[in-house]
Amino acid sequence: METREGMVEKRGAGLWLTHLGLIIGLLFIFFPIWLAFVASTVSQPEIVKPPMPLLPGDQLFENYRKALVAGVNAPVALMMLNSLIMAMGIAIGKIIISLLSAFAIVYFRFPGRRLFFWLIFLTLMLPVEVRIVPTYEVIAGFGMLNSYSGLIFPLIASATATFLFRQFFMTVPDELAEAARVDGASPMRFFLDILLPMSRTNIAALFVILFIYGWNQYLWPLLITTDPSMNTIVMGIKQMFPSGDDVADWPVIMATSILAMIPPVVVVISMQKLFIRGLVDSEK
Amino acid sequence: MATVSLRDVKKSFGKTDVIHGINIDIADGEFIVIVGPSGCGKSTLLRMVAGLETVTSGEISIGDRVVNGLEPMERDIAMVFQNYALYPHMSVFENMAYGLKIAGTPKGEITTRVEEAAKLLQLEPYLKRRPRELSGGQRQRVAMGRAIVRKPSVFLFDEPLSNLDAKLRVQMRLEIKQLQRRLGVTSLYVTHDQVEAMTMADRMIVMNGGVADQIGKPLEVYGNPQTEFVGGFIGSPPMNFLNIALAKDMPTQAARLGVRPEHIQIAQTGALAHGKVLYSEALGAETLVHVKLADGSFATVRQDASLAQPEEGAQVGLAWSKADQITFDAHGHRC
């Protein structure tokens, strides 16, 4: 993509003012994260004693080691692994299912095609929270509490992603499918050889969004994982808060928070280029 | 190489009939152009031969096989699409090789065949590029190449030149024709451009509203149009249609008189019609003179540039020989 000088020309004060505004906004958003980081590098007594420290202390390795290996209820390393499996499962599963269902809806004429599309579309209006009790019932019935499949499957079908791929497939010229037919490609072959590579950027963009969606799931894991070894990190942080008279180990909790932020950040940064391309232009 | 024959081929979408029964026998190696205005069913007809549309009734045979129920691949055809339909994420080589790859052709043979086609089409320097890095004409060639490497028995072209600029179109139309001659593959070519039809066709099918108005050699169609529509559609500027009263001793059912613009002369003596010159278009080698006749109808005269160009608004007489006039009945058919 070519970079162009701003559409609207800005000079002098205007430019500085814009930057100043952006920097202030950035500091504003970054400050709590900074506080969390500072809190994760000092010792417990230093945190509780006012004033709150604003500069990192010397307990960084000690706190992070403690969080990763021991944690409070379960080691953070284990919780991160759980979260990773859940987020990857949701993201990849959602992408596979949506690609296939969008492919079916766009390229095949079967009875009830429109009906199915609208049914899928309707589920957009039902967030997880609305159907959480019946879903819990079903999952419990299948004996999937405290398991990865229980964490992943209820969240795996996605109307949003199906809709997005449908819109993309509809922009692919019909002639391409016809050319593939003349070339002798079966429908699945066309899907794998042509449609899938063409959707590359869309898949990447969606992966980023869905990974973060999966990683940040809170309510659902909270409901179905009672065993600390199945806790995911986002809900795990809450579980670390003391109940009753226990003393909160704030440095370890803060270290866990910082650790919980790393994977989504890594995913966004490493896929930034594809992600933006996927949202901005469609390659045809 | 194969013959193609259509037997009373019809197509309807729901209750709308789009093709009302087409019959033609295409000889091996013949270049057939299907020409007609938009919506006349010419593309639908081609897509039925390709197997991309079902045949409502009638029979299509390629070689001696009836192909009505066969998938496009099983029909041994190759198609060139209007927008080329190249796979955007594949290189030129991969685009041309894709059909062979699916057919399970050995790698070595794929490479030889693609390189052969690339050489024929002067695409060798571009084999590694993606379609979007090519110009319109090069993309057109890749689409041709994709058709050639399969060595099909029939080529189908769906308005392949309509996305190119005028100059390139003239050049490519010659190239396609030469290529087809060299390979000797039976071809069906759909276009709305009557110049392409005239220059490329061995025989052409002029379609109008789902009916083949006339099937014949280009000059035969031009010189001897069977319907008023054909006379008006083939030839630019189109045939002049004049009031039947301007000619004497006509058959009783005759309703209109058709005369080609180049067959009319501006002459004071022996004039059959009179009118006022509206304007003249000097094209260099020839001049088109547009005349409004006394009865309110219009006529175009195509005359050599060396002849005197009449003034706008001048009264002129128009003359033509009886041999050059064609009569049509009230339904637009020859009589």
Q: Is the pLDDT of residue B249 over 80?
A: no
Give, to the nearest 10 degrees, the angle between helix A76-107 and helix A159-171: 40
- CATH code assigned to B240-329: 2.40.50.140
- How far apart are the C-alpha atoms of A120 and A112, rounded to whole Å? 12
The alpha-carbon gap from A178 to the nearest alpha carbon of chain B, in Å, equals 7
Chain A (188-207) residues lying within 8 Å, Cβ to Cβ, of chain B: 189, 193-194, 197-198, 200
Phi-psi region of B19 (alpha: psi -120 to 50; beta: other; left: phi over 0): beta
The alpha-carbon gap from B270 to the nearest alpha carbon of chain A, in Å, equals 57
Query: What's B209's DSSP letter?
Result: T
The alpha-carbon gap from B55 to the nearest alpha carbon of chain A, in Å, equals 17
Contact A95, A206 (CB under 8 A): yes
Which tokens is A70 given?
């021991």
Which tokens is B254 given?
């005759």
If one compares B228 and A70, the residue with the highest pLDDT of the two is B228
Give me the residue from B82, B89, B102 closest to A183, CB to CB. Answer: B102
Average the pLDDT over each of A128-132, B221-225, B285-289 and give the range with the smallest value: A128-132
| Helix residue spans in chain B (DSSP H) | 42-50, 92-103, 107-120, 136-149, 166-183, 194-200, 218-223, 228-233
Q: How do beta strands B286-293 and B273-282 pair?
A: antiparallel
Contact list, A182 vs chain B (CB under 8 Å): 50-52, 72-73, 77-79, 99
pLDDT digits (tens, 9 = 90+) for B167-177: 889 988 998 99
Other beta carbons less than 10 A from residue B302's beta carbon: 18
Give me the residue from A183, A197, A200 closest to B99, CB to CB. Answer: A183
- How far apart are the C-alpha atoms of B176 and B155, rounded to whole Å? 11
Contact B164, B143 (CB under 8 A): no
Query: Which residues of chain A carry a pLDDT beneath 50?
Result: 1-4, 282-284
B72 touching chain A per CB within 8 A: yes
Which tokens is B86 given?
């190249």
**Which residue, chain included where needed, has tokens 């050599």?**
B304
Q: What is the pLDDT of residue A44?
A: 80
pLDDT digits (tens, 9 = 90+) for B295-330: 888 999 999 988 888 888 889 999 998 888 899 998
Contact B154, B2 (CB under 8 A): yes
Asked if the Cβ–Cβ distance from B87 to A194 is below 8 Å, we say yes
CA separation, residue B214 to residues B61, B174, B329 (Å): 21, 24, 16
pLDDT digits (tens, 9 = 90+) for A145-175: 889 999 998 888 778 888 889 999 999 999 9
A212 touching chain B per CB within 8 A: no
Domain ranges of chain A: 77-280
Q: Which of B301, B312, B298 shows the shortest CA–CA distance to B266?
A: B301
**Which residue, chain included where needed, has tokens 């899928």?**
A120
- How far apart are the C-alpha atoms of B73 and A30, rounded to whole Å? 60
Q: What is the pLDDT of residue B20?
A: 92
Q: What is the pLDDT of residue A278?
A: 64
Length of chain A: 284
Q: Which of B247, B163, B162, B243 shows the shortest CA–CA distance to B197?
A: B162
Percent of chain B beyond pLDDT 70? 100
Length of chain B: 335
The alpha-carbon gap from B321 to the nearest alpha carbon of chain A, in Å, equals 50
Backbone angles phi, psi at B36, to 5 degrees: 170, 170
Q: What is the pLDDT of residue A3?
A: 47
Question: What is the mean predicted confidence (pLDDT) over B191-208?
Answer: 93
pLDDT digits (tens, 9 = 90+) for B83-107: 999 999 999 999 999 999 999 999 9
**Complex ipTM, two decimals?**
0.84
Helices and strands of chain A, counted as H and E runs: 16, 0
Q: Which of B3, B7, B1, B2 shows the shortest CA–CA distance to B212?
A: B7
- How far apart are the C-alpha atoms of A56 and A258, rounded to whole Å? 14
Q: Is the pLDDT of residue B139 over 60?
A: yes
The alpha-carbon gap from A180 to the nearest alpha carbon of chain B, in Å, equals 8
Domain ranges of chain B: 4-232, 240-329
Contact list, A283 vs chain B (CB under 8 Å): 88-89
Q: What is the pLDDT of residue B252?
A: 81
Q: Searching chain A, which residue's CA lies closest to the CA of residue B100?
A: A183
Q: What is the pLDDT of residue A284?
A: 43
Q: What is the distance in angstroms between the CA of the first residue and the CA of the last residue of chain A?
A: 15
Question: What is the mean predicted confidence (pLDDT) over B150-163?
Answer: 91
The superfamily CATH assigns to domain A77-280 is MetI-like (1.10.3720.10)
Q: Is the pLDDT of residue B199 over 90?
A: yes
- CATH code assigned to B4-232: 3.40.50.300
Contact B255, B244 (CB under 8 A): yes
- How far apart are the C-alpha atoms of B63 and B80, rounded to whole Å? 20
Q: What is the pLDDT of residue A9?
A: 59
Give me the residue from A173, A181, A193 closest to B52, CB to CB. Answer: A181
Q: For the range B161-169, what are the long-range contacts, defined as Cβ-Cβ under 8 Å and sequence gap of 24 or more?
A: B161/B191, B161/B193, B161/B196, B162/B82, B162/B191, B162/B192, B162/B193, B163/B82, B163/B83, B163/B84, B163/B136, B164/B136, B164/B137, B164/B140, B165/B136, B168/B136, B168/B137, B169/B196
Q: What is the pLDDT of residue A126?
A: 77
B271 touching chain A per CB within 8 A: no
Q: What is the pLDDT of residue B1?
A: 67
User: What one-character-per-residue DSSP string does B228-260 give?
Assistant: HHHHHHSSSSPPEEEEGGGSSS--TTEEEEEE-
Which amino acid type is present at position B151?
A: K
Which tokens is B46 given?
């081609």
pLDDT digits (tens, 9 = 90+) for A110-125: 888 888 888 888 877 7
Residues B322, B324, B329, B335, Cα dihedral to 10°: 90
User: What one-character-per-residue DSSP string does B262-300 give?
Assistant: GG-EE-STT-SEEEEEEEEEE-SSEEEEEEEETTS-EEE
3-class DSSP state for residue B162? coil
Contact list, B72 vs chain A (CB under 8 Å): 178, 181-182, 184
Q: What is the pLDDT of residue B196?
A: 92
CA separation, residue B304 to residues A203, B174, B265, B270, B288 (Å): 64, 26, 10, 20, 9
Q: Is the pLDDT of residue B30 over 80?
A: yes
Asked if the Cβ–Cβ distance from A198 to B77 is below 8 Å, we say no
- How far apart are the C-alpha atoms of B327 and B314, rounded to whole Å? 29
Which tokens is B240 given?
């002049």
For Cα atoms B115, B120, B126, give the angle at the middle one, nearest 5 degrees: 55
Query: What's B192's DSSP letter?
Result: S
Q: How do beta strands B31-35 and B203-208 pair?
A: parallel
